[in-house]
Amino acid sequence: MSRASFLRGALGAGAALAGSGFLAWSGGAAAQPAQWRGHVLLPGEAGYASAKQLFDPRFDAKTPAAIVQVTSVEDVRAAVAFAAESGLRIAARGGGHSYIGASAADGTLVIDLRALRDVRYDGGRVTVGAGASLSDVQNALHRFGQTLPLGTCPTVGIAGLTLGGGIGIESRRHGLSCDRLDSAHIVVPSAESVEVSATSDPDLFWALRGGGGQLGVVTSLTFLTCPATPKDIVRMTFPAERLARVITGWADWLSTADRSAWANIDASTDGHGAMDCTVLLVCAADTGVAHTRALTAATGTAPLTVQRQTLDHLGAIDALAGGIDAPRTCSVAGSDVVADISADLADRIIETLTTLTDMSGRVLIDPLDGAVRDLPGDATVFPWRDHSAVLQWIVDGPTDAGQWVANAHRNLGSHSAGAYVNYLEPSDSPHRYFADNLDRLRRIRAVVDPDNRLHRTLAL
């Protein structure tokens, strides 16, 4: 029997009913037999090819066994229970931005959560459907003068970002996205829907905060919000030959800069010997001039160009997003977490960039100080609370650039303490991402998913 026929027979009350996408399903006790209206798409059916697409076209050839476009928690429970009975592994789809195509894995039952995107604010807390994008969240919270510490890409999913940690322009002031998580609803592999928090199933709650989504299908997340404030955005370009001094000076500036200010470095190469260096500074409105002067003094280098604008919070988010309709892009990426920024590290970064030939690439250097350090390293699964920065290596376009990223890790040597799970690389050791928190995460996973029903991108 073909996979499509098997799914039709198991999921629906006949081919015509299943083909329409409105399914009658009767499962085990854990799923509470019920009608559900998840729209199921099978290989070869109209809409399947577009439904399995991720942001990166490199994964267009992947063939999930089926895609279930859910509209309720009961849909999720039914799909999870069916997958267990049928021996299918589950892959949850949120924003679809995984660098390794985790939510389009071959042979899996993909649970597409993107219709679960409600955002409900109530007195300092916001509950967000797991299919919501960062743009959904920021636009909804703007009406209440609130925000969350999130990334800047508008189409990234809130769930994936938070489950891996969540680094962004508010990290120095308000911590990681997962640090603001107050509770979550998750459908575990037994098909039970549970609420987790610091007081309700605290082990599972701990595992959701930085564990990379290895334990079930999260359906909603509740966060403690923070005030949205106007921003200055300053973009500075520096001479490429001064990149090493810019890196070390940036680190010196961070050590004394107010937490309301954040900056990262974007060092890029065209693959033919030309390099560029840009510093992006985001700070409280009307403080950009002072911070620019302080950062410039710390680097000992006059910027080639300086562009500054003052915007309200949502205007700043939109300006940093670079357009919500960004085209699908092929990107090979990876990361290194470093404990300290030194002259030797800066030299190794530059050396790594110069080895990239015949393709363009970059390293983004994001800070890990300020409020990120307010929690101990074992408070969440994200272990890098005493470290200085995350280096994100990115090559756009080629599919064979993974070797350069691997060489970047080797070139850093002992400077690299590990990596950030939201920049996951294929066939990597989980210890690189979770360090001393790995053993506890493994114990929790073994209890929650003893039969390995979840598609795993790491060998937990």
Q: What is the pLDDT of residue 388?
A: 98
Is position 68 within any domain? yes
Q: What is the pLDDT of residue 3?
A: 40
Is there a single domain that holds both residue 70 and residue 171? no
Is there a single domain that holds both residue 394 and residue 250? yes
Q: What is the pLDDT of residue 271?
A: 86
Pairwise CA distance, residues 165 & 181, whole Å: 10
**Which residue is it, tokens 């302080």?**
294
**Which residue is it, tokens 């009975």?**
85
Tell me if 211 sits within 8 A of 196, measured CB to CB. Answer: no
Pairwise CA distance, residues 11 & 15, whole Å: 10
Is position 458 within any domain? no
Is position 246 within any domain? yes
Is there a single domain that holds both residue 260 and residue 367? yes
Q: What is the pLDDT of residue 401?
A: 81
Q: If 0-12 CB within 10 Å is exposed, 13-18 middle and 19+ buried, where does residue 262 land?
A: buried
Domain end among 167, 201, 227: 227
Q: What is the pLDDT of residue 323?
A: 55
Identity of residue 121: Y
Q: Quick one: tokens of 226? A: 């923070």
Domain end among 173, 197, 227: 227
Is there a single domain that holds both residue 79 and residue 137? no
Domain end among 92, 112, 132: 112
Is there a single domain that holds both residue 184 and residue 241? no
Is there a single domain that holds both residue 127 and residue 191? yes
Is there a single domain that holds both residue 153 and residue 179? yes
Q: What is the pLDDT of residue 374?
A: 98
Pairwise CA distance, residues 445 & 452, whole Å: 9
Q: What CATH number is associated with residue 170?
A: 3.30.465.10
Q: What is the pLDDT of residue 17?
A: 25
Q: What CATH number is associated with residue 82?
A: 3.30.43.10
- List per-block mean pLDDT (blocks of 10 residues) for the chain, which spans 460 residues: 42 33 33 54 94 88 95 97 95 88 91 97 98 97 98 94 97 98 97 97 98 94 98 98 98 98 97 94 98 98 98 96 72 94 98 91 97 98 98 83 91 97 92 98 96 88
For residue 143, CA distances in Å to 120, 139, 282, 377 come to 11, 7, 22, 34
**154 lies in which domain range?**
119-227
Q: What CATH number is associated with residue 360?
A: 3.40.462.20
Q: Which pairing describes strands 416-418 and 305-311: parallel, antiparallel, or unpaired?
A: unpaired
Is there a single domain that holds both residue 132 and residue 76? no
CA neighbours closer than 13 Å in the CB half-sphere of residue 344: 9
Q: Quick one: tokens of 36? A: 């559900």
Q: What is the pLDDT of residue 155?
A: 92
Is there a single domain that holds both residue 247 and residue 207? no
Q: What is the pLDDT of residue 12?
A: 45
Work out the number of other CB atoms within 10 angstroms of the CB of residue 307: 10
Q: Which pairing describes strands 262-269 and 331-338: parallel, antiparallel, or unpaired?
A: unpaired
Is there a single domain that holds both residue 49 and residue 176? no
What's the per-residue H, E or C state across the chain?
A: CCHHHHHHHHHCCCHHHHHHCCCEECCCHHHCCEECCCEEECCCCCCHHHHCCCCCHHHCCCCCCEEEECCCHHHHHHHHHHHHHHCCCEEEECCCCCCCCHHHCCCCEEEECCCCCCEEEECCEEEEECCCEHHHHHHHHHCCCEECCCCCCCCCEHHHHHHHCCCCCCHHHHCCHHHHEEEEEEECCCCCEEEEECCCCHHHHHHHCCCCCCCCEEEEEEEECEECCCEEEEEEEECHHHHHHHHHHHHHHHCCCCCCCEEEEEEEECCCCCEEEEEEEEEECCCHHHHHHHHHHHHCCCCCEEEEEEECHHHHHHHHHCCCCCCCCCEEEEEEEECCCCHHHHHHHHHHHHCCCCCCEEEEEEECCHHHHHCCCCCCCCCCCCCCEEEEEEEECCCCCHHHHHHHHHHHHHHEEECCHHHCCCCCCCHHHHHHHHHHHHHHHHHHCCCCCECCCCCC
Tell me if 112 sits within 8 A of 104, measured CB to CB. Answer: no
**Total domains in the fold of the chain:** 3
